Amino acid sequence: MSKIKVAVIGVGNCASGLVQGVYYYKDIDKEEEALGLRHLFLGGYHPRDIQFVSAFDIDDRKVGKDLSEALFSEPNNTIKFAEVPELGVPVLKGPISDGVGEYLKSVIHVSESREVDVAQSLKESGAEIVINLLPSGAVEASRRYAEEALKAGCAFINATPTFIASDTAWAKLFEGAELPVVGDDLTDQVGATILHKTLLKALVDRGVHVSETYQLDVGGGAESLNTLERAREVKRMVKTKSVEGVLPYKAAVVAGSTDYVDFLGNQRDSYFWIQGLYFGAVPMRLDMRLSTVDAPNAGSVAFDVIRAVKVALNRGLGGPLSSVSAYAFKHPPKECPFEAAEQRFMEFIYGKRER
């Protein structure tokens, strides 16, 4: 199989986890040995087929360094679980736009290097897919990179909550350019949203009437800090809508409120509270905490998305990929229950047309 040539926008903790994952799994050839990975092979592609050919950031501790070194440069603070060899991919200075909020000004050291021509750099690198891993709240910067991907003839994966794949105008632009676009807001492998939805569905299926529920996040990474300042409301809206979708009736639902605790580092604690009535209208209550490390949590799902987008490119498909988006994102162009989304995703991988 040919390599899947990927450009990374934002060399933060998520990028670190993603690139490390390629080298963690590269020598594994048996599904049963691929611990923590949903699909070792997907559409004929293995994670080792993913090749990072270009990277963009604005922090002077990363710009100019090889991607392999920049992944572990401050302010990145996630776990190191794999050795990454020198990649021969220098981190380029991208546009700042609205990429640095007030809360992040003390964390990000903006490079004084000259901003590169992003579209030209993408073309020169041979990138075919751009994955946007910018912080939540960097709306204009995300849109700018989507424009540059279109100019360069690249597919676009939007891992942020900025509405691009789910925005009709953007969808038409990518459809017109015959380039795939997927998004928005990538789900985690062991994420609060999917776990919350699973818990609620299990209770509803068992006849419990859920009356009230919330899910709150506390984290220490730059993403948590940035979300607290600039994306708290949109994240809350996206997550709440996603969670409400599993309930067949109206209930009081709050999901995705975030706070920041610096000493947690790249760790995230998610708190779940569910109240309802079961047989005889007797009350029940569930109170639970989930602790994860943020960066690796996106890896398994991102690997599936990257390979699915490559499959779409091989088939000459353009515009929003509804099945891939519903499977892997919190705010896809078309919502559907997770089981149905997973079935549609696998049907797409193995040759069925988009629906």
Q: Residues 129, 272: one domain? A: no
Q: Residues 143, 15: one domain? A: yes
In a domain, 166, yes or no: yes
Q: Residues 286, 323: one domain? A: no
Q: Which residue, of 294, 311, 330, is where some domain finishes?
A: 294
Q: What is the CATH number of the domain that holds 210?
A: 3.30.360.10
Q: Residues 154, 266: one domain? A: no
Q: Residues 70, 165: one domain? A: yes
Q: State the pLDDT at residue 107.
A: 82
Report the number of distinct structural domains present in the chain.
2
Q: State the pLDDT at residue 12.
A: 94
In a domain, 249, yes or no: yes
Q: Which residues, other chains included, contact 271 with Cβ-Cβ below 8 Å and sequence gap of 6+?
A: 214, 215, 216, 217, 218, 287, 288, 289
Q: What is the CATH number of the domain that holds 147?
A: 3.40.50.720
Q: Which residue, of 294, 318, 334, is where some domain finishes?
A: 294
Q: Tell me the C-alpha distance between 135 and 230, whole Å.
A: 10
In a domain, 336, yes or no: yes
Q: Residues 303, 204: one domain? A: no
Q: Residues 235, 308: one domain? A: no
Q: Tell me the C-alpha distance between 3 and 204, whole Å.
A: 44
Segment-wise mean pLDDT, segments of 10 residues, the chain, 355 residues: 94 96 98 95 97 97 98 94 98 88 78 96 98 91 97 98 96 98 94 92 97 93 70 79 92 87 90 97 97 93 98 97 96 89 95 69
Q: Which residue, of 256, 278, 294, is where some domain finishes?
A: 294
Q: Residues 48, 159: one domain? A: yes
Q: State the pLDDT at residue 333.
A: 95
Q: Residues 283, 332: one domain? A: no
Q: Residues 174, 57: one domain? A: yes
Q: Tell me the C-alpha distance between 114 and 63, whole Å.
A: 10
pTM score = 0.91
Q: What is the DSSP string of 294-330?
A: HHHHTHHHHHHHHHHHHHHHHTT--EE-HHHHHHHBS
Edge to edge, the sheet with strand 209-219 lists 252-260, 209-219, 267-278, 282-293
In a domain, 354, yes or no: no
Q: State the pLDDT at residue 352.
A: 72
Q: Residues 243, 141: one domain? A: no
Q: State the pLDDT at residue 230.
A: 59
In a domain, 326, yes or no: yes
Residue 35 sits in which domain range?
4-187+298-349
In a domain, 228, yes or no: yes
In degrees and rounded to multiples of 5, residue 296 shows phi and psi of -65, -15
* Among the listed residues 99, 233, 241, 96, the one whose alpha carbon sits nearest the alpha carbon of residue 166: 241
Q: State the pLDDT at residue 349.
A: 96
In a domain, 355, yes or no: no
Q: Residues 114, 236: one domain? A: no
